Structure formats: structure tokens, C-alpha cells
Amino acid sequence: MGPVNALGQAWAITKKDLVAELRGASTIVSMVLLGLLVVLVFNFGTDPGAKDVTLARSGVLWAAFLFAGVIAVGRSFATEKEAGCLDGLLLCPVDRAVIYLGKLVGNLILLFVTGLVILGFFTVLYNVGLGAGSAGLVLVMALASIGFSAIGTLFAAVGAGVRARDALLAVFIFPLLVPLIIAAAHVSTVLLAGQGLGGAGLWPWFLVVYDVIFLAISFMTFDFVVEE
Amino acid sequence: MPAETHRVVAAVEVKNLWKVYGHVEALKGVDLTVAEGSFLTIFGPNGAGKTTLMKVLATLARPTDGSALVGGHDVTKEAGAVRKRVGVISHNTYLYPQLTAMENLAFYGRMYGLKRARERSTQLLEQLGLATRMHDRVATFSRGMQQRLSVARALLHEPELLLLDEPYTGLDQHASRILAGVLEGLRDGQRTVVMTTHNLQEGLESCDRVAILARGRMVFEEAAAEVDHSGFQATYFACVERAWGR
Amino acid sequence: MNATGYLAAAYSIIWVIIAAYVVYLGRRQAGLRRQIEVLQIEMSERDEPGEQG
Amino acid sequence: MDKGPARRDLMVTVLGAVTFFFMLVALLGALVWAPKEATMGDVQRIFYFHMPSAWIALGPGFTVVFALSIAYLATGRLKYDRVAAASAEIGVVFTTITLVTGPLWAKPAWGVYWTWEPRLTTTLVLWFIYVGYLLLRSVAGDGHRRARLAAVYGIVGWVDVPIVFFSIWWWRTIHPRVLTSSGFALDSRMTAVLMVSLAAFTLLYVFLLVLRVRIESMSATVQTLRFRARDRRGGGV
């Protein structure tokens, strides 16, 4: 089977996940709500009169994204486990990399959409005039979603067979995501301060490199995670 | 012509198969040959290793030692080829509750790379009496209907080997009877079927070979015609007890 | 707290952590050894003929 | 554990004694023999145990986890997984020591317990990664399944470490630093003490590793025996 067919199959997995998600609609709602709650709660912790709050603000944005994201990746394999569907998927004559890719893209879309919703509310609640920076922020959101999804999908498959999944998942993946969050927070601070993406220096590229490294490792090791 | 070319490849050929999970030895040197077109039922108590054997044949579990061939293909080295040839029905339906019956089959059809998945699905759904519900979500189906749909899913790619792992678990009597009828219909002399069960009655009805697995070992194997149906229960218990060293 | 205080605190903590870890390892090992002994006795008893009907 | 357990016990005891001796020598060296550092005074003496403990954790401790994770995935031998688990746990203990002694040195030297300096922050993240590794092991059942999951995490975690350090370092060089870590020159006696202490910590690492691996294999034995006992006792009909 050719690579085109493999991509088609990966997309079929993604589509199946998204359709199931839209019909259940449970994950994305709780993701968005949790993200908004984080934005709200942090608001009480920051001094509204402070002079330079952009740094703190972008921190709030990414903390909200982080917490919402854990729910997404945690759910993605939990549903597969319910009627033994993960086994059903593994029975199919498709490469494990194709399955990983399919799940990854599904999570990626979910994360990205949630991130955008959080971003939208964030700009309204904090009175941030985005203007020129908005395209840059969307790009950073996309890059962060890729890295998060790469690691999250890998370890969600780990967590699927494990007790007390969601809380533990956060403990496993947050430390690994530190560089991602630092880079994303830095770039968004620059953008929120009204500078263009050029003001962020090499940081956007750092995000790209991070994504590539962890995508590569995840593709190499996913086989071992789902094997019995 | 050399004699070997005439030799029929067995549907399943298992040699000295071991599977160890951590500290649990699930299979301890199983040997098994299943001729093409036959129906083998493997009996055994819980924890005998039945599901593990099925998982190895379905490429879901990797053998610790020994070999297993399906249609002449090694389950570890040629997993892809084996997966194409195997259909699995277990007490897990492998169906997505939020998707409709048709969507489930279409999805699996895509995964198996089928060209005419829709026609095949429609045909199977009609055959299994689910045609009227094909656009309903699986979540609204009864357990029995889900299991029938699971049969359709397993037959979708016309597998040479059908593995039935405790297919009756969780079904009420009515649903069991329907499923038994469906399975009876699968015996066309070409498709090979391996079923595991701990239910002596259901297992004996349709098969033409009988085996007993206990504590990870094959302790009994016989043609169904040779087995005394009324006395089989006693044979079964004797085999199992002997395996436990009592 | 003066410098000596910090120094004393640091070194006591180091030694306490290491000692506690060694004690913990020792206890675990002793516990496991006991379990192995018990299990082995149990097994050998079971192996004796006529134990079970 | 099977062959000559008495001899092996003796060797472990000897190793323990030698380790203890070296630790005492290092302690004496650090507290008495090493000269008082000019600018920081006595508090600098924390350094002699702080540094080796960090080195052993970050160096052999976690690198062994990484290497053996790869070795396990390549060969499927549980022995590698056990040693990796042992090394990770000892690494966490040593990192904990580093994280506790660091602030106790920083407070009198710099006036604050903690600063978000790259090395400190990386060490903290590292601690979280390997605590995560141990947590994962504790919930992932046993045998090969746990070994595979842990190995994947061990690999990803280790690769992440330099990236974490680099990102934090880069982040800090852009933003104004509150404090800069003031370096100091080591004289020959200081270097000698540091070397002795490093040797002591290396021995300690090996000694603890031996103990820890033994526990890991013993608990594997217990599991096997338990299973056999259950197997015999229960009739699963």
C-alpha cells in the first residue's frame, strides 16, 4: 500500500475521532471551560494596576492551554479503551505509525481549536488589542499544539492502561513540556507587547525544532507503547 | 513435481508457543495445528490462556518463545499479512458507540483497505438482520445487536481465519441463539474457525474438532465425531483437574 | 541563622537523607526476604503428596 | 542471588564499609581540612557534597536510565529494566540532596533561597521528570509492559533535559538576571577534597545501585512465587 493510502487511513482515524467527539462533545466543552476558569482564577491573582503585566498575562494564557490540553489527550485513548476499540484498531493491517499519526492529528485539531477559543476570550477579558500580532499568536498556538500533541498522544497511550489517568498524565507530561511553554510564553509576550514576530528572534524556530525532535522520537517509540 | 508443493498449508500452525506476562506464564509450550476449513473449539477454565492464544494468533500479543503461523505467515515477522487474513470476534465489540453501524463498518473497511466497503457492509448488515438500523448509533443498540454488528465487522474483509474469543459472554439466551445461528452459517468448508469458550454446551454444537487448554497447555485434542457428547463434561473436568495436579 | 548554621543544616540533611534511604532499602529487602521464605515453605508443603484430596 | 549468596552478601558489606569510609574522609576533608573560602566563608563547604551529588545524579544516574532503556527496548531483557529503575530512584534521591543543599548555600551566599537560574531550574525540572518516571512505574503494572512504558519515558525524558536547560538559559539571558552566580577559584586542597567527595559519591551510587537492583530482583521472585502459589492453590474451574 502506498503512502497516499496510509495518509488516507490516518485521516480516517482522525475523522472518526472528531466525529465521535462532536457527537459526544464532552471533551471540548470541558477543555474550554477549564481553560476559561484558569484565565479567570489567575485574573484575581494579578494586580490590574500593575505597569507591565504582559509577561504575567502570557503566562496565564499558556497555563490555561496546558490544563485544557491534558484533558484532551487523556480522553483520546480512554474512548478507544471503552469497547476494546484500541485492540480493534491494532488488529487492522495498518502500520502503528499510521495509528499514531491519526490519533496525533485528532488531538492536534482539538488542542488547536481549544487554544484559539481560550485565546479569543483572553483578548476580550484582558483588553488586549492584538492587531498585527494575531497571526503570529495563531502560529505559535499551532506550533505549541503540535509539540503538546506529539508528547501527549504518546503518553496518553501509556496512560490508557493505567489507573488514575488524568492527574498522572499531567505529572508525566508537564515537565517534558517546559521548553515548549517557555518558548511559547516568550513569543506571545513579545507579540502582546505589540512587536511583530520578528521581535521574538529565534524562539519560533526553537518551537519548530522542539516539535520535530519529539515527533521523531514519538514515531520511533509508539510501537513499544501499544504492543503487548 | 516435488511432493512439498502439494502439501496443504495449515490454517494455523503453532509450535511450542510460550507467552509470559511479567511473572505470569499464560502459555507454556502450546502445539496446535488447525486444518484449513475446519472448526476448532478450545475449551478451558478462566485463566487457562485461551484469550492469550487468540491474541497471539491475532498479532495483538507477541510470543515470548516458539512460533505461530497463520496461513503460513509468521505472526511476528509478517504481522501485516496475518492481520489481513484474520477476523476477530470477542466479548469486546471493537465498535465506536458514537458512530452509526454503517460508519463503524465504513471505518474498518477503510482500515482494511477495502475497495467496495459500502456494498459489502450493506450486504452484511442485511444478512445479519441489521439493515433497518444501519444509520443508528451503536450506543442505542442492545448487547445482542452490537455483537451481531461485531460479527459483520469481523467478516468485512472476508478473513480466511475467524477467531471467536468467548463470543457468547454477556449475551442473554435469545441473543446467544441468534449468534449461534449466525456462526453456524459461517461453516462453509473454506473458512477456518477457532473458537474459545468455557461453555461446554455451546462449544460442542458447531465444531468438528475439540481441544482443551488448561494452565497454558493443550491437554486434550480430538475430532468432534470421536467425542462422546454426553460424557464430555466428565472428560473436561478430568483433564482440567489433572492439569492442576489434583 | 549564621553561616555555620546553614552548613550544619546542609550536612545533617544530606546524611539524614542518605541514611533514611539506606534504612528504607534494608527494610524492603528484609521484608522481601521474609516473603520469599514464607512462600517457599508454603510451596514445599504443598508439594508433599497426600496434602490435598 | 542464586549462586553463592553468602559471598555476594560479604562483597556488598565490604562495598558498604568502603563507601562509608570514603564518605567520612570526604566529610572530614570538607569540614576540617579544606581551607576556608575567602569571600563566602564556611558556607562554601556545602559545595563539596552538593556538587558531587548533582554530578552523579545528572551524569551516571540518569544517563544509565537512558542507556538501559534503549538496551531494554533493543533486547527485551528485564534485567536492564530493573537496573534502569534502580538508577532512576537513586538519581532522584541525589537530585533531592542537590535541591535541598543548593538553597542552604544560596541563602547566606546570595541572600535568597532560590533563584530561577538555568542550572537550578533545570535540576528542578529534572527532578519532576524522574519522579514522573518512578510514578509511571508504580502504576504501570509489572513485567514487560511496565518495562516498555518506562523505557519510552526514560528515553524521552533524557532527551528533554538538554533542551530544558538550553531553553531556560536562553530565556534568562534575554531577561535581566536578578543574580549572577559568583564563581570562585579552587585551590589544590579544595580540588583534592572535591575529588575525594566525588569518589565517595560514585561509590555510594554503586553501593545503592547494588542494593536497589537486588530488591528489584527479589520482588520479581516474590511475584513469581506468589503466582505459582496461587496457581497451585486455586482451581480456576
Closest-CA residue to D150 (of D222, D224, D54, D78):
D78
D36-49: pLDDT as tens digits:
776 667 777 888 88
**Predicted pLDDT of residue C52:** 42
pLDDT exceeds 90 at position B237:
no
Question: Is residue C17 within 8 Å of D100, Cβ to Cβ?
Answer: yes
Question: Is residue A72 within 8 Å of A159, Cβ to Cβ?
Answer: no
Find which of B227-241, C15-29, D131-145, D187-201 is predicted with most confidence, using mean pLDDT: C15-29
Q: Which CATH topology does D5-175+188-218 take?
A: Four Helix Bundle (Hemerythrin (Met), subunit A) (1.20.120)
**Grid coordinates of B12:** 494455523
Phi/psi of residue A155, nearest 5 degrees: -85, -15
B31-90: pLDDT as tens digits:
999 988 888 999 988 878 889 999 999 998 888 889 999 988 999 889 999 999 999 998
**Predicted pLDDT of residue C46:** 64
pLDDT above 70 covers a percentage of chain D that reads: 86
Contact of A90 with chain B, judged by CB distance below 8 Å, is answered with: yes
Listed by start position, the domains of chain C span 1-45
Confidence of residue D178 (pLDDT cuts 50, 70, 90): very low
Interface contact D164-A227, CB threshold 8 A: no
Full domain range(s) for residue A166? 3-226
Question: Is residue B195 within 8 Å of B203, Cβ to Cβ?
Answer: yes
How high does pLDDT run on average in chain B? 85
Listed by start position, the domains of chain D span 5-175+188-218
**Grid coordinates of B227:** 467425542
Interface contact B22-D146, CB threshold 8 A: yes
Secondary structure of residue B213 in the 3-state scheme: strand
Chain B residues within an 8 Å CB radius of D224: 23
- How many angstroms away from the CA of B93 is the closest CA of chain A? 6
Question: Is residue D222 within 8 Å of D142, Cβ to Cβ?
Answer: no
Question: Is residue D50 within 8 Å of D105, Cβ to Cβ?
Answer: yes
**Predicted pLDDT of residue D61:** 87
Interface contact D168-A206, CB threshold 8 A: no
**Predicted pLDDT of residue D82:** 92
Confidence of residue B187 (pLDDT cuts 50, 70, 90): confident
**Grid coordinates of B223:** 475430532
pLDDT exceeds 60 at position D182:
no
Interface contact B240-D142, CB threshold 8 A: no
**Whole-number Å distance between alpha carbons of B26 and B166:** 17
Burial of B30 (C-beta count, 10 Å sphere; 0-12/13-18/19+)? buried
B128-162: pLDDT as tens digits:
888 899 899 999 998 888 988 999 999 999 899 99
Question: How many structural domains does chain A have?
Answer: 1
- How many angstroms away from the CA of D226 is the closest CA of chain B? 9
Chain B residues within an 8 Å CB radius of A88: 92, 94-95, 108, 153
ipTM for this prediction: 0.81
Q: Lowest-pLDDT range, B51-55, B203-207, D24-28? A: B203-207
Contact of A182 with chain D, judged by CB distance below 8 Å, is answered with: yes
Low-confidence ranges of chain A (pLDDT < 50): none
Q: Lowest-pLDDT range, A131-135, B5-9, B125-129, B190-194? A: B5-9
Question: Is residue A193 within 8 Å of A170, Cβ to Cβ?
Answer: no
Question: Is residue A139 within 8 Å of A183, Cβ to Cβ?
Answer: no
Question: Is residue B68 within 8 Å of A81, Cβ to Cβ?
Answer: no
Question: Is residue A183 within 8 Å of A210, Cβ to Cβ?
Answer: yes
**Predicted pLDDT of residue D1:** 45
Question: Is residue B213 within 8 Å of B219, Cβ to Cβ?
Answer: yes
State chain B's maximal CA–CA distance in angstroms. 58
Residue ranges in D77-117 assigned as alpha helix (H): 78-110
D109-151: pLDDT as tens digits:
777 888 777 778 888 999 999 999 998 888 877 778 889 889 9
Which of D80, D152, D153, D166 would you mutate first to test chain A, the one with the most A CBs within 10 A?
Answer: D152
Interface contact B46-D146, CB threshold 8 A: no
**Grid coordinates of A88:** 480493534
**Predicted pLDDT of residue A37:** 87
Interface contact A89-B112, CB threshold 8 A: no
**Whole-number Å distance between alpha carbons of B180 and B183:** 5
Question: Is residue A20 within 8 Å of A76, Cβ to Cβ?
Answer: no
**Predicted pLDDT of residue D143:** 78
Closest-CA residue to C46 (of D228, B10, D54, A76):
D228
Chain D residues within an 8 Å CB radius of C4: 42
Residues 104-123 of B with CB under 8 A from A: 107-108, 110-113
pLDDT exceeds 90 at position B108:
yes
How high does pLDDT run on average in chain D? 82
**Grid coordinates of D234:** 486455586
**Predicted pLDDT of residue D34:** 73
Given the C-alpha cell 533563584, which residue does it identify? D115
Confidence of residue B183 (pLDDT cuts 50, 70, 90): confident
Interface contact D132-A162, CB threshold 8 A: no
Low-confidence ranges of chain C (pLDDT < 50): 50-53
pLDDT exceeds 60 at position B6:
no
Domains and CATH numbers, chain B: 8-95+158-243 (3.40.50.300)
* Angstrom distances, CA of residue A20 to CA of A24, A29, B99: 6, 14, 6
User: Which residues does residue B194 pair with via DSSP β-bridges, in sequence order?
Assistant: B40, B163
User: Which residues does residue B43 pair with via DSSP β-bridges, in sequence order?
Assistant: B197, B212
Pick D101's closest partner by Cβ from C1, C3, C13.
C13
